[in-house]
Amino acid sequence: MDFPTYFRILKKYLGDGATIPEFFRELIEMITDDDAEDIISASGITSDKADSTLISYTKPKRGFTKKMANQLLYRVNSANMTESIESRPDETIQLLANEFNTYYPDITAENASQRIPEIFVDFIREKAGMGISTTAQKATFINQSNQLKKQYGQFLLTEANNCCAFPGCDRPLILTRGGLASENYEVSTIEKDKDAEPLNLIALCPDCFLTYQAESRKKIVTALKNVKKILVSAHNSQQSISDMKLDSGIVSVLTSLNKLKFDEYDISYDPKQLTDKISPENNRTLYQLVKNQVIDNYLTIQKIIINLDKQGRIDYEDIQYQMRSMYKKLKAAKHGNLEIFNTISEKLHKATLQDIYFCQMIVSYFIQKCEVLE
């Protein structure tokens, strides 16, 4: 079966009289949690050509583009489509299953709501250039996850704050239905060629989990590694830190910054909301960490900086230049916000030999001051 055939059958039984462009938009919103227009726009389709382009994707031997597939890939929420199918009359589900059974003999009225979304997700993964996992392979992945969940599951759920850790997903990993809570997550290794130990494990929603098992792109693996670093730090930071230790750590980082080399850039004083610098939708983990650090420690760090500058133990303008310089270089190299945050924090950590959490607090402070992530 190809996508145009898949689309035709779904529209026949689920379309309720919608036009092709209308149902295509419904289908996008059925398989994701996102607004269809946002995905269409992000796929490079202008509004004046949207309808004709969507129609062309349903023509024989066509299908949606790789660019659209990549927009859909890690936004998939197949449970939405399952619920949509299950909400239809039994007769409609039976007719839908009968027609799909011609192409997939295993599909029945009982499993149609699960299998039909799986087929759409496979279309997306294949068009995005990823391999399609067989039923046996998927079962193996789930079995491996179940073994890891027994040993590390609760720890990883807590670390991820019960939300899918994949950038841009943020789907809840604990579902509540009828007053009962149920876990809805899997555990994946981040770097698949390394041991399954806590620093290389992460909790993901079932859709992101299965997609990631077929993932081989270095940039995606790096993105997940960056999320993990921040999750680890945020989890560790929840342990109590005395005011004395906090002050001492911040002072040590600031007074050691002269070990860094820097270039001069114009200093920016353009105050912006944190949401203007870090998107909560795309970088929930980083946004939450910076938000908490800014709320909890901004005034403390500012007071320490003012006092150290007055005492001549630091040159505040020099530190501003250093932070600005590192940010500009990383931004020019087209690094994302997660990578920029981790890279600057680790650079401070190596130069000052102070706890990475104190270094992250300094970076969070300068994010709020608009020297980083302007």
DSSP 258-279: GGS-----PPP-----HHHHS-
Residue 259: its pLDDT value, please? 56
Residue 334: its pLDDT value, please? 79
Dihedral (Cα; 46, 51, 55, 56), 10-degree rounding: -30
pLDDT tens-digit profile of 166-224?
887 888 898 877 777 788 999 999 999 999 999 999 999 999 999 999 887 888 899 89
Residue 23: its pLDDT value, please? 96
Determine if residue 354 is left, alpha or beta; phi over 0 gives left, psi from -120 to 50 gives alpha, anything else beta: beta
Residue 170: its pLDDT value, please? 81
Residue 275: its pLDDT value, please? 45
Let me know how long the chain is: 374
Determine if residue 51 is left, alpha or beta; phi over 0 gives left, psi from -120 to 50 gives alpha, anything else beta: alpha
Residues in the chain with pLDDT values less than 50: 240-241, 263-278, 371-372
pTM for this model (two decimals): 0.64
Residue 135: its pLDDT value, please? 83
Distance from chain centroid for Cα 179: 28
Domain chopping of the chain, boundaries: 3-127, 135-216, 230-368
Nearest to 318 by CA among 272, 255, 251: 255
Question: In the beta sheet, which residues pair with residue 175?
Answer: 182
Residue type, 292: N
Residue 199: its pLDDT value, please? 92
The sign of the torsion formed by the CA atoms of 143, 145, 146, 151 equals positive
